[in-house]
Amino acid sequence: MIVTASAPGKTILFGEHFVVYGEPAIVIAIDRDVKVTAERRDDSNLHISSNLGFSGTFIGERFETEEGDGSEKTLEPIKITAETLFQTLKKKCGLNITIKSNIPIAVGLGSSGALAVATVAAIGRLLGANLTREEIVKLSFESEKYVHLNPSGIDQTISTYGGVIVYSKSEGISHMKIESSIPIVIGNTRIQRNTGRLVDSVRIRKETFPQLMTQLTQTAGQLTREAISVLKKGDLKQLGELMDINQGLLVSAGVSSEELDRLINVAKKGGALGAKLTGAGGGGCIIALSKIGKRKEIAEAIRTAGGIPLIAEKTDEGVTTWTS
Ligand code: PMV
């Protein structure tokens, strides 16, 4: 039997960085996914091949690279996930794992979270477990801790459930039912960034200007709460305006960059209702909210300005598995 699992990526619509200081953030699942195929092997090895430029085999604690510098480190989360499942389910076998992803890595679109979730779901089903979504989120946390050190858990949650989620440190996760589509265009600056370093730069600014930054953070919280009710109403024009205001706050927090600002400006000239950086900033991606029928024009404007456009849509589908 071969089991395949698919899990979506994500984009943060509102509230990044300020979420670290207790304010809410809105995260949506996007129609880009990681597919993981799992199949038993006759020996006890773990063979992993991927379309990410990394392939190799774990033979006990030894690793043999087939493709890509640093593949052991890149593929280690898969080994962690497999071992977590073996321990939890009290079953063990050799595995062939194949990864196919269409989510760019290290630009804030949740590729590692989606990979962890799809891996848990595929191996879990192969081993005969009927994992609940709650269990999938929990089990995928081990490899996310290896990748992100101190993750909030939001990436695995959105990848598992799909849809739209509001997250805050104090209130945890709540699912929002949004019927309307949220037509977005993502613009990738092609610059990979380090989330931890950017979070730290905001902390330093907060220490330098505590009162100013506290007010900025509170304003961001107010803005996200406003965005929740605008999203429920489905008013895209107001939502775009709120994205512009959110970008202003992120600029003030010091996490935008010349490349992000350029893509935001061209997206707006191309017909976006609003645009902002998404995720940690410093590089990575922007998201632009499109007027009806303008997505291609916005994507073209992003491409002309040197970015990689990605026309995306909210997806309500979380992790799914099937056998062949
Ligand atoms: O770019 P990402 O997906 O790593 O998002 C980071 C979001 C931050 O708010 C900047 C950090 C965090 O842990 O919430």
Please tell me the distance from the alpha carbon of residue 261 to that of residue 251, in angstroms, as a whole number. Answer: 9
Evaluate if pTM is beyond 0.75. Answer: yes
- Per domain, the residue ranges of the chain are 2-178+316-323, 183-313
Looking at the CA of residue 154, tell me the nearest atom of ligand 1. Answer: 14
Residues annotated as catalytic (active site), given as ranges: 155
Residue bearing the CA closest to ligand 1, atom 5: 279
pLDDT > 70: percent of the chain:
99
Please tell me the distance from the alpha carbon of residue 82 to that of residue 140, in angstroms, as a whole number. Answer: 10
Please tell me the distance from the alpha carbon of residue 181 to that of residue 291, in angstroms, as a whole number. Answer: 12
Looking at the CA of residue 255, tell me the nearest atom of ligand 1. Answer: 10
Looking at the CA of residue 193, tell me the nearest atom of ligand 1. Answer: 1
Question: Residue 189 above 70 pLDDT?
Answer: yes
What's the full length of the chain, in residues?
324
Question: Domain 183-313 belongs to what architecture?
Answer: 2-Layer Sandwich (3.30)
- Looking at domain 2-178+316-323, which of 3.30.230.10, 3.40.109.10, 3.40.1380.20, 3.40.50.620 is its CATH number? 3.30.230.10
pLDDT tens digits for range 101-114: 999 988 989 998 99
State whether the beta carbon of 16 lies less than 6 angstroms from ligand 1.
yes
pLDDT tens digits for range 70-96: 899 889 999 999 999 999 999 999 999
Cα–ligand 1 centroid distance for 57 (angstroms): 31
Cα–ligand 1 centroid distance for 301 (angstroms): 26
